Amino acid sequence: MGSRGPEAVDDGGRSLIGPPPGGSGPSGGPLERDPLERDPPMPGFVYVLALFSALGGFLFGYDTGVVSGAMLLLRGEMGLSNLWQELLVSSTVGAAALASLGGGPLNGWLGRRVCILVASFTFSLGGVVLALAPDRAVLLGGRIVVGLGIGIASMTVPVYIAEVSPPERRGQLVTINTLFITGGQFVASVIDGCFSYVGRGGWRYMLGLSVIPAALQFVGFLFLPESPRWLLQKGRGPEALQVLGRITGGRGVEAEYQAIQSSIEDEQRAGGGGPVISRILRHGPTRRALVVGCGLQMFQQLSGINTVMYYSATILQMAGVRDDKQAIWLAAVTSATNFLFTLVGVWLVERVGRRKLMLGSLTGTGLSLVLLAVGFLLSAQNSPAVTLHPVDPQNSSCSLYGSCQSCMTDPGCGFCYHDNGSSVFNSSCAPISLASTDHASWGSCSNLTAASGCWFWAYNYCPTPYSWVVLTGLVLYLAFFAPGMGPMPWTVNSEIYPLWARSTGNACSSGVNWTFNVIVSLTFLDVAELLTYYGAFFLYAGLVVLGLLFVLGCLPETKGLQLEDMDALFSGPLCSCGASSPGDAHVHYTRGLDLSPANYGAVGSDSAIAYITLK
């Protein structure tokens, strides 16, 4: 972290000295070097803080990943309808939305550290409730409790990591949180696969194991410090100085302390009184930053990511994968892709920058969604016909359908068929059992254990040779989404707000993320029923195009800037950022610069001369 002075003069500023002797860039300014190559090693304590903080991300990811496989088992054991499946998924998301909105005032009052402790305790409590749930009502309550923990952690952890990180490593360290999210999703999918063989009650282990990382984070944070920026904001200067010494390794502690203190004083003088949200809306740069931050979180969800993660196993079954265990393990493949390509994002974020990474990510994500839609379209166009129309003793509408695709549009029906390994025949559309969607209420598929021959019961999917197209689309979708649109909205939101607005700004943007998460996850199965599966993914592809235009026009580059210097990026009109958002940000930083008046213009330890702007 250390003390870092600005290395380039603001356009209207007056520099005390000329360019450094190391040469000049194309525009005559100082030749920029890769900060990762010139800065001394970061103290290991910062990594410890980041890793324990990111356990909150792991829990976030574990929950979103584990429900995909657990839902396949719960659907059969508890006879869950589409509505109950959507409730169990979206209740967690809805609780997270409310908790993230309340997390802003909570962060300002209690601090980042205490909020992370509250979140991990809540996670643990929810995990116990889920593991012991006797019925779906208690299961719903446990999901809500877990959602409260997720919401607090999702807005607190990125802020905490950003506030204890040096500028040249901030993007990487905040992205570690997203790496842990995708790691949690991958571990959850493996756990799902392993416990799918347990039989009845396997879902209890899947949902209850989240207690272990939650307890580990709680114990760890009992011994870790508060954010120095929050401590200074609360007037606890000696504590802040001590924490800064630990996270900077003793380099430039006083200068860093003075820079943060000056920033807080400037913000207090400029901010005026009143509620923080009203001050944000009155202050132009912070208001524009909030719009950009909330917009990024909105488009992250509208691109359909949590539809893919919550329902990945269900989507694979919709595409024709008929075995629950096979669908769960294939979902693990998609989670592994998500995790591996998030590592790519960690590597690229400080090299390529946030803006370019998101633009490339959205382009690939949109094309992958089109491929997913095409896979479902091919499956629909080649749907097997209903060849048998037996007399229906229940007089249901199922016997009226002529193909598997039309049969699947009715949530009360399933497709019963005979498969000899090369073709589908003797097929019928029959009503589902009132006890479970795993078999028909009558006919050849009403008792699959006693049925002779290769009879199969398909609920929510049709047998098709095009499952591989959908699996390819899922893998490509995550390969493009994971490095950019996965971590970058959280990274950007953790750094674009001034200190006085950081908790509230992150609470608002997290609330937007979770609100649209609720909307997408609660409506996916109904949208798929209304628009067909391929129509739903074409819709998400169209929304990704809108997100691409938003990022192109409104997002400036924040790579390498001090948290205290973000306001200048949003000083112009709202969506002029694309034209003026330079990847060559005109403020750069060096270590070892003492900002006392006697040392203005001094040569630092790396022989680079610092530029000072006088106002």
Residue 176 and residue 564 in contact, taking contact as beta carbons nearer than 8 Å: no
- Provide the pLDDT for residue 320: 59
pLDDT of residue 210: 86
Q: Rounded CA gap, 301 and 610, in Å?
A: 42
| 417 vs 414: CA distance, rounded Å | 10
pLDDT average, residue stretch 117-134: 91
Longest CA pairwise span in the chain (Å): 96
| pLDDT given for residue 528 in this prediction | 79
User: Could you report the per-residue pLDDT of 394-423, keeping only the tens digit for each?
Assistant: 767 888 888 888 887 787 888 888 877 677
With residue 6 as reference, give the H or E element that holds it: strand 5-6
pLDDT band at 571 (very low <50, low <70, confident <90, very high): confident
Residue 424 backbone dihedrals phi, psi, to 5 degrees: -105, 135
pLDDT for position 534: 86
The answer, yes or no, to whether residue 437 has pLDDT greater than 90, is: no
More confident residue, 531 or 291: 291
Chain centre to alpha carbon of residue 470: 22
For residue 611, give the 3-state DSSP assignment: coil
Model pLDDT for residues 188-238, shown as the tens digit of each residue = 888 888 887 777 778 888 888 889 999 999 999 998 888 888 888 888 888
Looking at residue 254, its amino acid is E
Instruction: Name the pLDDT band for 3 (thresholds 50, 70, 90).
Output: very low
Confidence of residue 599 (pLDDT cuts 50, 70, 90): very low
Q: What is the DSSP letter of 223?
A: S
Confidence of residue 125 (pLDDT cuts 50, 70, 90): very high
pLDDT tier at 452 (50, 70, 90 boundaries)? low
**pLDDT confidence of residue 321:** 64
288-298 mean pLDDT: 93
Which residue has better confidence, 59 or 593?
Answer: 59
* Range of weakest confidence among 350-359, 483-492, 557-566: 557-566
> Ranked by mean pLDDT, which of 103-112, 115-124, 146-155, 414-423 comes out on top?
115-124
CB atoms within 10 A of CB 134: 7
pLDDT tens-digit series, residues 139-190: 999 999 998 998 888 888 888 888 887 766 777 787 788 788 888 888 888 8
Higher pLDDT, 327 or 367: 367
Reading the block at residue 520, the tokens are 């997408």
Q: What secondary structure letter does DSSP report for 440?
A: B
pLDDT tens readout for residues 465-486: 777 888 888 889 989 998 999 8
Confidence of residue 30 (pLDDT cuts 50, 70, 90): very low
Q: Of 137, 119, 53, 86, which Cα lies nearest the Cα of 517?
A: 86
E strand intervals along 423-509: 424-431, 455-458
222 exposure class (CB count in 10 Å sphere: 0-12, 13-18, 19+): exposed
- What pLDDT is attached to residue 615? 35
- Helix locations, 311-451, DSSP H: 312-318, 324-352, 354-381, 404-408
Min mean pLDDT across 206-215, 381-390, 604-613 is at: 604-613
pLDDT band of 576, cuts 50, 70, 90: low
Q: What pLDDT is recorded for position 604?
A: 34
The model's pTM is 0.65
Cβ count near 425 (within 10 Å)? 12
What beta strand segments (E) does 432-568 contain?
A: 455-458
Q: What's the confidence (pLDDT) of residue 442?
A: 82
CA–CA distances in Å: residue 246 to residues 151, 187, 441: 29, 32, 67
Grouping H, G, I as helix, E, B as strand and the rest as coil, residue 103 is helix
Look at residues 113, 75, 559, 98 and name the one whose alpha carbon lies nearest to residue 350. Answer: 559
Among 520, 534, 512, 393, residue whose Cα is nearest residue 462: 534
One-letter identity of residue 237: G
What pLDDT does 219 receive? Answer: 92
Report whether 302 contacts 362 (CB < 8 A): no
The whole-chain average pLDDT of the chain stands at 77
Contact 177, 157 (CB under 8 A): yes
Secondary structure E strands in 113-223: none
pLDDT band at 449 (very low <50, low <70, confident <90, very high): low
| HEC secondary structure over 13-70 | CEECCCCCCCCECCCCCECCCCHHHHCCCCCHHHHHHHHHHHHHHHHHHHHHHHHHHH
Cα–Cα dist 349/353, whole Å: 5
585 pLDDT band (50/70/90 cuts)? Answer: very low
Helix/strand/coil for 609: strand
More reliable by pLDDT, 371 or 471: 371
Q: What percent of the chain has pLDDT over 90?
A: 14
Say yes or no to pLDDT of 310 above 70.
no
| Contact between 152 and 119 (Cβ < 8 Å) | yes
Is the pLDDT at 119 greater than 60, yes or no?
A: yes
